[in-house]
Amino acid sequence: MGTQIETETLSEVLALIDQANTLLERLGTQRIYIVAKFDTRECLSGRPFRKIESVQTKFRVPDADRL
């Protein structure tokens, strides 16, 4: 099982991992196991937002405004 996270920069995702680890430590978690894989690409700013728009467009009912 895993969670996919997309950010604009590597430092953003590393900070998020650090925040999650810190929270789990504060909650008293005795063992935290973190596995991370990174797929980085250049010049794809705003990609997560474009993905959301693409899904919304594909699931939009034609002529939905008329209903």
pLDDT digits (tens, 9 = 90+) for 37-47: 988 877 666 77
Amino acid identity of residue 33, one-letter, is Y
Residue bearing the bigger pLDDT, 27 or 56: 27
pLDDT of the residue at 43: 65
Highest mean pLDDT among 1-10, 41-50, 55-64: 1-10
Strand stretches in the chain, DSSP E: none
The CA–CA distances, whole Å, from 61 to 39, 50, 56, 57 equal 33, 19, 10, 9
